[in-house]
A and B are shown apart, each in its own frame.
Chain A
């Protein structure tokens, strides 16, 4: 076997320019293939991670419309109590998100068009789904009238910091609220997991949000975030909520991810599949052509080896080894190239509007590496099949005769 490998290696390096180019070419297509495999599940993995990090594994909505896009949950107090009493449930938090206008504060002049921000109303005592960066959280702001958390973008634009005052007016229906604005005190600066790079988001108590939107005809909360008890799991908690027959739509994180994968992320799955297929075919085709041309140039030599007594499988195995070596070298080189390329492509795609800053399109998984290796291994074998066949059926005598005449 060593002899086969050694001869294959020497055959490959006897034309270093050609072999180097073949390896580089495989590296280029391999890098793209690797990235497409990362992209095929990257968004799903990243989104799942984001949902899990928020600390809640079940969501309850009024209907099966996308979160925040459908009607609200009415009579939320009763619903909260019912769900909270379930043995499978550890915590349940109502969430509402409305658009509000900043009517006064730093960097807001009377002539400025009123800036809108998203206001997340939540129970201050529940474990928050945001990360505190500076100041205090809502839960430790008892005594502060209308505490408010802002994200970094909002804080920077308003030149605000913990202790700053801010005046907000609800924009809960299709027009501005007719109620007077309410004054809030910024107690902390936080990072919201679902914010995109330009998002301006604030968070406060649900009660304060309801006051801001007191004239909004549509009542209710947008959704309930549920955390299952350790040992129970999201499935059992969701099942228990459904059994409570509240007429609501219950979805686990896994189901949400699956839905997004099927609908919202569908484009990226499809494009990654198409590009991976095209790339693999391209690489296969070119290795096959390179190898076939190389074998055709050495037919006399191969016939002489067969005449000398080297067996058919021996010379065929040599061709296969050459293919595996070239593709293998290119495949190994492709991984760091692909990693760098994925950073670039990820940066491009993360500029899409509305994409949370913590979401990535290209996420490394060991599974992707395994699939990548398997695909390239199959491609190297497939690409070698035709040149192997040429060598296997080579008529020794006729080839020797032709070489003399040629």
Chain B
């Protein structure tokens, strides 16, 4: 539950507090740092913007909030209380004896694959409740689906630019060997024989390039994550190179590299050998 918290720090050791030791609270690391709090300090929490009806709590510990990619840019100033304490803090004064209400209940099933049927069953048994498996599509998943499409679109454009440049470079590299190729053709080497040679070389170069690229990406992954974790003061992982990403990269890079060298070589091999060797 959200508390519109205004926190006033009191460093007293509960002296004179007739009700005894204040209940415990956990504060997020960011909140502890922003208010220069320490474990053991006593703080006041209130659900009112004015700070009215506040209660004392003792800081029992500090926690690192679970990184939330939907809120990574927000400072995670949070507190965790026992449920009775938060209910007592937020209950309106005119409803002191009213039943408590909560926002949601998290359920961990013995068999997670039962989530859909459990949710349906619960909706039937308790009309008015909404039971949703955590894997169900929602605003969060559709947000990430859109972000994924965006990244894919950018990747497609980058690959097109890369492919064009790769072809240009291959044309130049192959052109440097035009006299050699022309001489081989004059000797009697067939086009296909030379293309096989090019295919082998292209495969090796593409493989070496792909591996080098992946190694570079791994280094950059670390650098990016460190930078953004520092920038946003979060433990969120922004970039992760998974085996799937590695496989995708190789499946794209290898054909691109091999294809570019084959195309460039074929353009050269189409010319007459005498034209290739003319000085």
Q: Give me the interface of A with B, judged by CB distance under 8 Å.
A: 15, 17-18, 21-22, 24-25, 28-29, 31-32, 62-63, 65, 70-71, 174, 217, 247, 262-264, 266-267, 270, 274-275, 279, 282-283, 286, 289-290, 293-294, 297, 341, 344-345, 348-349, 351-354
Given contacts A270-B228, A297-B176, contact A28 B143 (CB under 8 A): no
In the complex, the answer to whether B4 meets A345 with C-beta atoms within 8 Å is: no
In the complex, the answer to whether A21 meets B153 with C-beta atoms within 8 Å is: no
Nearest opposing residue in chain B for A17, CB measure: B171
In chain B between 122 and 153, which residues have their CB closer than 8 angstroms to a CB of chain A?
A: 139, 142-143, 146-147, 149-150, 153
In the complex, the answer to whether A297 meets B161 with C-beta atoms within 8 Å is: no
Report the minimal beta-carbon distance from B45 to chain A, rounded to whole angstroms. Answer: 15
Judged by a CB distance under 8 angstroms, whether B157 is at the interface is yes
Q: A99 to B71, alpha carbons, bound, how many Å?
A: 24
Chain A residues touching B, majority SS: helix
Q: Which of B139, B147, B167 has a CB less than 8 Å from the CB of A354?
A: B139
In the complex, the answer to whether B4 meets A353 with C-beta atoms within 8 Å is: no
In the complex, the answer to whether B168 meets A32 with C-beta atoms within 8 Å is: no
Q: Which of B139, B158, B165, B176 has a CB less than 8 Å from the CB of A21?
A: B165
Q: Which of B49, B160, B167 has a CB less than 8 Å from the CB of A62?
A: B49
Residues in B whose Cβ lies below 8 Å from that of A293:
169, 172-173
8 examples of A-B residue contacts, CB within 8 angstroms: A17-B171, A21-B164, A22-B165, A24-B164, A262-B73, A270-B228, A345-B150, A351-B149
Q: A29 to B158, alpha carbons, bound, how many Å?
A: 7
In the complex, the answer to whether B161 meets A28 with C-beta atoms within 8 Å is: yes
Given contacts A71-B4, A263-B73, contact A21 B160 (CB under 8 A): no
Report the minimal beta-carbon distance from A103 to chain B, rounded to whole angstroms. Answer: 16
Q: A348 to B164, alpha carbons, bound, how many Å?
A: 25
Residues in B whose Cβ lies below 8 Å from that of A22:
165, 168
Nearest opposing residue in chain B for A65, CB measure: B4
In the complex, the answer to whether B167 meets A63 with C-beta atoms within 8 Å is: no
Question: How many residues on chain B are close to A (CB under 8 Å)?
Answer: 41
In the complex, the answer to whether B153 meets A344 with C-beta atoms within 8 Å is: yes
Q: A398 to B147, alpha carbons, bound, how many Å?
A: 57
Q: A63 to B2, alpha carbons, bound, how many Å?
A: 14
In the complex, the answer to whether B49 meets A63 with C-beta atoms within 8 Å is: yes
In the complex, the answer to whether A70 meets B4 with C-beta atoms within 8 Å is: yes
Q: A65 to B146, alpha carbons, bound, how many Å?
A: 27
Given contacts A62-B49, A351-B146, A354-B139, contact A25 B165 (CB under 8 A): yes
Residues in B whose Cβ lies below 8 Å from that of A297:
172, 175-176
Q: A165 to B48, alpha carbons, bound, how many Å?
A: 40
Q: Give me the interface of B with A, judged by CB distance under 8 Å.
A: 4, 48-50, 72-74, 92, 94-95, 101, 103, 139, 142-143, 146-147, 149-150, 153-154, 157-158, 160-162, 164-165, 167-169, 171-173, 175-176, 224, 228, 231-232, 267
Report the minimal beta-carbon distance from A343 to chain B, rounded to whole angstroms. Answer: 12
Q: A63 to B5, alpha carbons, bound, how many Å?
A: 11
Q: Which of A15, A345, A353 has a CB less than 8 Å from the CB of B139?
A: A353
Interface core residue of B48, B94, B162 (most chain A CB under 10 Å): B162
Q: A387 to B153, alpha carbons, bound, how many Å?
A: 34
Q: Which of B142, B164, B224, B267 has a CB less than 8 Å from the CB of A28?
A: B164
In the complex, the answer to whether B72 meets A267 with C-beta atoms within 8 Å is: yes
In the complex, the answer to whether A348 meets B149 with C-beta atoms within 8 Å is: yes
In the complex, the answer to whether A348 meets B146 with C-beta atoms within 8 Å is: yes
In the complex, the answer to whether A275 meets B154 with C-beta atoms within 8 Å is: yes
Given contacts A267-B73, A352-B146, contact A18 B171 (CB under 8 A): yes
Nearest opposing residue in chain A for B168, CB measure: A21
In the complex, the answer to whether A290 meets B150 with C-beta atoms within 8 Å is: no
In the complex, the answer to whether A353 meets B168 with C-beta atoms within 8 Å is: no
In the complex, the answer to whether B4 meets A266 with C-beta atoms within 8 Å is: no
Nearest opposing residue in chain A for B72, CB measure: A267
Q: Which of A18, A264, A274, A349 has a CB less than 8 Å from the CB of B150?
A: A349
Nearest opposing residue in chain A for B139, CB measure: A353
Residues in B whose Cβ lies below 8 Å from that of A266:
72-73, 232
Report the minimal beta-carbon distance from B69 to chain A, rounded to whole angstroms. Answer: 9
In the complex, the answer to whether B164 meets A25 with C-beta atoms within 8 Å is: yes
In the complex, the answer to whether A32 meets B150 with C-beta atoms within 8 Å is: no
Interface core residue of B94, B153, B161, B176 (most chain A CB under 10 Å): B161
Residues in B whose Cβ lies below 8 Å from that of A286:
165, 168-169
Nearest opposing residue in chain A for B149, CB measure: A348
Residues in A whose Cβ lies below 8 Å from that of B176:
297
